[in-house]
Amino acid sequence: MNDNNSPKVIISGGGTGGHIFPALSIATGIMRRYPQAKILFVGAIGRMEMEKVPEAGFDIVGLPVMGFDRKHLLRNFKVLFCVYKSLRLAKKILREFNPDIAVGVGGYASGPMLKVAQNVGVPTLIQEQNSYPGVTNKMLCAKADAVCVAYHGLEKFFPADKIVFTGNPVRQELVESELSPQQARLKLGLNPDLPTILVVGGSLGARTINHSIGTHITSLAKSNIQVLWQCGKQGIEYADTMLKENPATNIKASAFIYDMAAAYRAASIVISRAGASSISELQLLGKPVIFVPSPNVAEDHQTHNAMALVKNDAAILVKDSDAQASLVDVALQLINDNDRLLALSENISKMAKNNAVDDIVDCISRIIDK
């Protein structure tokens, strides 16, 4: 056991921004509470965390772990070999780093690390972002010391006595921004007085959302609103081509928005995938939102996430398969309906859970002290 004022913590998981941003928020919360703490991230080689975590100033080790290929079962021989190698490497990391606790944030990268930690008696905490848990967390929950969740009703997946309702950690700079909508729009090179649709498709962009905007550029160009369109690295060429063919001075496209705090402040409404991190951010910011859940995620968890809000009249859902036909019409109707905007904003704000990071760090502290 290390000194309680300088705990050693492994944080494992990743694959998408939806896993990485909460993990970094937890790490920052631990360092705020314990400035002498030592934190080591464990991710998957070749995935986004291997770049984003060092950028944030933390050390990371990569495992050669891969996700199961459900469509091509024969390819899973390689997957199983990578899992075997990852388990061996995880044992070595545990031996050398000697952590007080291992925290799993989901994604297949967290599986080998937490499994080995549990086998050798290192306490573990799972942070589940979604309303429908992934396979990895469901497999690991029986031996975990605590499962921090952001949605009610997860007793059917996790042992009830281990569930701690904390909410999802969000990027602090988003909540702390004091810009007015007009100031934020000016900062982003937009018209300060025009109602603004912010379009985001997750950290990699979203093809369906991009094509929904691209197909309806002429009707957006004629409307008395503006669009800030994050289309992802893979979508910027398409967006540029569409805007060349249909010049629209009120639509600004970029591969990536670096100042998301300003982008959220500028937005009158948001069009977004329904990843758990995005939902938590939108709840805290009270933003009216149209969700287009990704159909390409395990267990269709984005639809489950979005429906938890739709049931409370706190968001609008447009199916991925319907988006190209109806998304822009729904958005233009919503942005001109002030009563509906106000109701959505009030209802989504009611679902916000403040202090998630502090509550998770409290949980980590209790487990270490025990």
Handedness of CA 166, 167, 168, 171 (dihedral sign): negative
pLDDT at 353 over 60: yes
Per-residue pLDDT tens over the stretch 91-148: 999 999 999 999 999 877 889 999 999 999 999 999 998 888 888 889 899 999 999 9
pLDDT at 202 over 70: no
Give start and end residues of each alpha helix (H) in 106-158: 110-119, 135-140
Q: Nearest to residue 242, comparing CAs of 272, 220, 264?
A: 220
Q: CA 223 to CA 331: how far, in whole Å?
A: 11
In one-letter notation, the amino acid at residue 220 is: L
Q: Nearest to residue 270, comparing CAs of 227, 302, 240?
A: 227
Per-residue confidence (pLDDT) for residue 90, from 0 to 100: 93
- What is the pLDDT averaged over residues 77-93? 85
Round to the nearest angstrom and report the end-to-end CA distance of the chain.
Answer: 11
Per-residue pLDDT tens over the stretch 279-328: 999 999 999 999 999 887 777 889 999 999 999 999 999 999 999 999 99
CB 10 within 8 A of CB 98: no
- For the full predicted model, state whether its pTM sits above 0.95: no
Helix axis angle for 276-285 and 338-350, nearest 10°, is: 110
pLDDT at 16 over 90: no
- DSSP, collapsed to helix, strand or coil, labels residue 8 as strand
Task: Give the Å distances, CA to CA, from 285 to 6, 29, 259, 293.
Answer: 33, 20, 15, 20
Q: CA 244 to CA 241: how far, in whole Å?
A: 5
